[in-house]
Chains A and B, each alone.
Chain A
Amino acid sequence: MKTKEIYKKWKEQKSQIEVGKSFSDRVMSRIYQYESEKKIPLLGGYRLIELISTRSLGKAAVVVAGVVICFVRITVVIYTFLGC
C-alpha cells in the first residue's frame, strides 16, 4: 500500500467515531438537574453564596455594597462628631 493511500486511510479513520448510546441521555439528565437547581429560591443561603462566588457580577456587588456601607458609616460618625 502506498503511503499516500495510508495517509488517506488514516484521515478516514480519524473521522470515524462512535459516540456512546447513552450520551444524549446523560446530557439531558444534566440539563434537567441544572433546571431543577435553578428553581431553588434565589435567597436560599447556599444558592446565594454560590451566585456570589461563581459570578463576577456577584463579587462586584458585594464589594460595592461594602464600600457603600463603609461610606455611610463614616458619614454618620463625622456627622455625629460635628453635631456635638
Chain B
Amino acid sequence: MTLETVIHRVLEGDIESFRFILQRYETPVVRMIKNITNSADTSEDIAQDVFLTAYKKLASFDHTRSDFSTWLFTIARNKSLNALKRKRPVLMSELPEKSNPHNPSDDMARREFYDRLDQTLQALPSRQRRAFILAEFEKLPYEEIAQIEGTRLGTIKSRINRAKKKLRTALIEFSGDMV
C-alpha cells in the first residue's frame, strides 16, 4: 500500500489505516524529538501529540508542496520547540570539567566521551543542533532540512558545519586527539 493510498483512505474515514503511517514514522519521529529535546521521558508524549496533530490536519497536507515526511517532521520540530521553551537550556558554563581520558579504550572513558558529546550537542544554539540532528541522526537530505526549518540551503549547510566544528573542538579539547 502506498502512502498516498493510505492518506486517501484515512481521509475517507478509514481511521485504522493511520496505523500504517504510525508504523512507518514512529521511530524517526520519536528519535528526532528525543534528540532535540534531550528527554527520553517526554519524547513519546510529544510524539503522540505530533501524530494526533498530523491526523487532525491530514486534509491540509499538500503533496505538491512537500513530501509527507517533511510535513510530519515540521510538525515534530514545532512541537519539540514548544516543549523546549518550557525547559531550561543547558549553558556551556555548566559543562563538566575536562577529565583525563588519555586511554579512551575502556568503557568508562568512552562513556565520558559520549557524555561530553551529548552535553556539547545540547549546548549548541537550537538551530544548529536541530540541523545537525536532522542531518546526522535522521540522515535527511539538506534540501529537506531547509524545508523543515523554513530557510535556505546555504544556511543549513553553514549551521551543520558550525555544529560539527564545535563538536570536533569539544572532542579535541577533551582528548587532545584529532577527530
**Which residue of B18, B110, B113 contacts A31 across the interface (Cβ within 8 Å)?**
B18
A34 contacts across to B, CB distance below 8 A: 52, 55-56
Interface size on B, residues (CB 8 A): 34
Known A-B contacts A23-B47, A27-B22, A30-B48; A6 and B30 likewise in contact (beta carbons under 8 Å): no
A55 contacts across to B, CB distance below 8 A: none
A3 to B178, CA, bound (A): 7
> Does A31 lie within 8 Å of B178, measured CB to CB?
no
Main secondary structure of the interface of B (DSSP, over half): helix
Residue ranges of B at the interface with A (Cβ–Cβ < 8 Å): 15-16, 18-19, 22-23, 26-27, 30-31, 34-35, 44, 47-48, 51-52, 55-56, 104-105, 110, 113-114, 117, 136-137, 139, 167, 171, 175, 177-179
Residue ranges of A at the interface with B (Cβ–Cβ < 8 Å): 1-4, 6-7, 9-11, 13-15, 17, 19-20, 23-24, 26-28, 30-32, 34-35
10 inter-chain pairs at a CB distance below 8 angstroms, sorted by A residue, are A14-B136, A15-B31, A15-B139, A17-B31, A19-B27, A19-B47, A23-B44, A24-B26, A26-B48, A27-B52
